[in-house]
């Protein structure tokens, strides 16, 4: 495979699997040394061309929800529920086909919320929620939900610190910046690229004429 420095893959343009729900047009996969997002990053998710031809799911299909302005680093792996057939509460955790329906344990949908940043070669386990504006350090394995605007790292990933204080987090979440029309969010770029919460609040509440 030809090496390349970086190739930004905007997910709304490339994702075809109906079980991957992408919000907006800004989220991307930093495809540097791997195949495309669906073929490399998302594993064990029914609904792709291969699974539709070869398997008939015997359980409700989990979904991957990706917010807007999400950055996903190269060689990230997002594991989905199609692999949840190894039960550790049984003597054998082998996925015997005779018991495949009974062995399946649903983890629920996986959520990557607006503004999250997932570092290179991280692994996201099934059914977790990455909160708005959180950061997953490179090489981390995320097994539990990550709170908004929190940096996590390690195996398993644990909180390292919050990006801002609790009051600022609450104020950011209340603004729902990423639920605005993209042109409105883009209007706020100079303030999103700062740490002046009061100025951001004031600007966010002031609507641009015609919007």
Please give the Cα distance from 61 to 81 (Å, whole number): 8
List pLDDT tens digits, range 77-95: 999 988 889 999 999 999 9
As a whole number, mean pLDDT of residues 59-88 equals 93
Token readout for 190 is: 């100079």
Higher-confidence residue: 47 or 138?
138
Quote the DSSP letter at residue 62: P
Nearest CA-CA partner of 151 in 167, 166, 133: 133
Please say if 12 is a catalytic residue: no
Q: Would you give the distance in Å from CA 114 to the centre of its chain? A: 9
Any residues with CB less than 8 A from the CB of 173 and at least 6 apart, and which?
A: 132, 148
* Whole-number average pLDDT of the chain: 91
Catalytic residue (choose from 12, 50, 65, 86): 86
């Amino acid at each position: 495979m030809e090496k390349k420095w970086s190739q930004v893959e905007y997910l709304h343009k490339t994702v075809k699997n109906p079980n991957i729900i992408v919000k907006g047009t800004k989220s991307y996969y930093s495809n540097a040394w791997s195949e495309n997002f669906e073929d490399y990053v998302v594993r064990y998710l029914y609904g792709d061309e291969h699974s539709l031809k070869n398997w008939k799911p015997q359980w409700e299909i989990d979904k991957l929800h990706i917010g807007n302005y999400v950055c996903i680093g190269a060689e990230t792996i997002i594991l989905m529920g199609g692999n949840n057939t190894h039960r550790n509460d049984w003597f054998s955790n082998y996925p015997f086909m005779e018991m495949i329906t009974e062995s399946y344990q649903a983890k629920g949908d996986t959520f990557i919320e607006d503004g999250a940043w997932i570092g290179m070669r991280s692994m996201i386990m099934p059914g977790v929620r990455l909160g708005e504006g959180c950061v997953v350090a490179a090489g981390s394995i995320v097994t539990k939900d990550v709170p908004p605007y929190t940096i996590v790292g390690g195996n398993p990933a644990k909180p390292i610190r919050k990006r801002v204080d609790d009051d600022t987090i609450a104020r950011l979440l209340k603004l729902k910046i990423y639920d605005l029309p993209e042109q409105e969010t883009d209007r706020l770029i100079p303030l999103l690229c700062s740490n002046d919460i009061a100025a951001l609040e004031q600007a966010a509440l002031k609507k641009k004429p015609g919007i």
